[in-house]
């Protein structure tokens, strides 16, 4: 759209330059014609035997004649110091202020005149009218271009809007369908552990629990996206240290199943004004993301201090070309792992809501460090 307006602007500029010269040349030629009409009158004056000679005067035109040495002879145009320079250069037309000037040689030298200089007022009205028309043309062109761009935008964006609408409906339906079965699976897993202690170390039951918790987090993420703007937040002082320990313990089973070492350096007595669900969601998504993209035998570390929370890993990292997209909803830089690409976008929503700062450092094959900072 802007490139189209730029091309129109160039076209208008070229046309203005051409028409400006055309209008100026027209006034120059008009002055030249009026001046040439003076020469026959000078000839008649030269042949006259009257005792008193009257220099010919034309309405709207001032003129004067100069001898071969460029000295002023007579005329109703006052001499100017720079006229001699114009005669030396034999410059035919020039502009000075609101006037245009014309210089021509006179031969034969009637009344001893070798040069004739004339002056007329330059009429700016045609050029002003040209500018107004071009400005109006540009305005109408801009309106037309914006209108066409709007129509094309709606036309091309309609399939995308439809796809997004279908995706939102899918998320809504998926979240609704996941809730009950996931809750039942988790509840029964806990009951099996309680009534059959020998299953505490069961690898099969551990896998069921991990998969169920993952489904539960997906459900929580989908619900957060759909209802975040409607949910009432209960913002109060929460014990971030206790919450961080709890979430680290929650993910310990998943870390062991993936043969990843999960470390936690949590400072005691860290309190922060936040909604409890937001704080838990923030930590869950950071830890889950780190575990997801860390290979077996890798390491994930959680660091909590008074002014920051850091979750870092030595996983696959993020390529530089993808860094600007990782906070977008549904974006996944690596398709080898599952998920909807919601984790970091949810983190950003929470961080933006509370006015925290989010820093992401990452190198391919070296790992990723995500830091949330608050306070001064």
How many of the other CB atoms lie within 10 Å of CB of 26?
12
192 pLDDT above the threshold of 70: yes
Tokens of 324: 């600007």
Question: Residue ranges of the alpha helices (H) in the chain?
Answer: 2-36, 38-47, 83-89, 125-195, 203-227, 240-257, 276-292, 343-354
205-242 pLDDT per residue, tens? 777 777 777 777 777 766 676 665 566 788 999 999 99
Per-residue confidence band for 178, with pLDDT thresholds at 50, 70 and 90:
low
Asked whether the predicted pLDDT for residue 311 surpasses 90, the reply is: yes
- Cα dihedral value 25, 26, 28, 33, nearest 10: 140
pLDDT 10s digits, 273-296: 999 988 988 998 899 888 888 989
Over the stretch 4-44, which tens digit does the pLDDT of each residue have? 888 888 988 999 999 989 999 999 999 999 999 888 888 88
CA-wise closest residue to 185 among 207, 152, 163, 157? 207
What confidence tens digit (pLDDT) does each residue in 82-135 have?
899 999 998 999 999 899 999 999 888 778 889 999 999 999 999 999 999 999
Q: How many CB atoms lie within 10 A of CB 246?
A: 12
pTM of the entire predicted model: 0.50
The most confident of 154-168, 226-240, 300-314, by mean pLDDT: 300-314
Average pLDDT, the chain: 84
Distance CA 156, CA 9 (A): 27
Contacts 24+ apart (CB under 8 A), 187-196: none
Domains of the chain, earliest start first: 2-123 (3.30.450), 234-373 (3.30.565.10)
């Amino acid at each position: 759209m802007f490139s189209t307006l730029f091309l129109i602007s160039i076209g208008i500029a070229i046309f203005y330059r051409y028409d400006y010269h055309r209008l100026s040349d027209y006034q120059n030629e008009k002055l030249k014609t009026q001046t040439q009409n003076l020469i026959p009158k000078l000839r008649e004056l030269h042949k006259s035997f009257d005792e008193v000679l009257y220099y010919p005067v034309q309405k709207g035109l001032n003129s004067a004649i100069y001898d071969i040495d460029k000295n002023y002879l007579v005329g109703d145009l006052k001499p100017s110091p720079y006229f001699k320079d114009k005669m030396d250069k034999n410059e035919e037309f020039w502009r000075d202020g609101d006037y245009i000037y014309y210089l021509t040689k006179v031969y034969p030298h009637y009344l001893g005149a070798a040069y004739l200089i004339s002056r007329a007022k330059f009429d700016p009205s045609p050029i002003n009218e040209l500018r107004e028309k071009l400005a109006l043309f540009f305005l109408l062109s801009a309106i037309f271009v914006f209108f066409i761009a709007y129509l094309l935008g709606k036309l091309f964006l309609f399939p995308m809007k439809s796809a997004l609408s279908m995706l939102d409906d899918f998320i809504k339906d998926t979240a609704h369908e996941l809730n009950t079965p996931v809750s039942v699976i988790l509840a029964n897993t806990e009951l099996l552990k309680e009534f059959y202690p020998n299953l505490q170390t069961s690898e099969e039951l551990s896998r069921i629990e991990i998969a169920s918790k993952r489904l539960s987090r997906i459900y929580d993420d989908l619900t957060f996206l759909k209802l975040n703007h409607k949910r009432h937040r209960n913002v109060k002082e929460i014990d971030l240290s206790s919450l961080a320990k709890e979430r680290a313990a929650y993910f310990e089973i998943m870390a062991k199943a993936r043969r990843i070492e999960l470390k936690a350096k949590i400072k005691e007595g860290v309190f922060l004004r936040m909604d409890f669900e937001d704080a838990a969601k923030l930590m869950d998504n950071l830890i889950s993301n780190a575990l997801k993209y860390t290979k077996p035998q890798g390491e994930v570390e959680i660091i909590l201090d008074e002014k920051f929370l850091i979750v870092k890993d030595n996983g696959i990292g993020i390529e530089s070309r993808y860094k600007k997209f990782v906070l977008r909803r549904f974006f996944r830089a690596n398709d080898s792992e599952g998920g909807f690409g919601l984790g970091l976008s949810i983190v950003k929503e929470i961080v933006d809501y509370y006015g925290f700062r989010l820093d992401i450092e990452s190198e391919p094959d070296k790992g990723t460090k995500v830091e949330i900072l608050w306070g001064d």
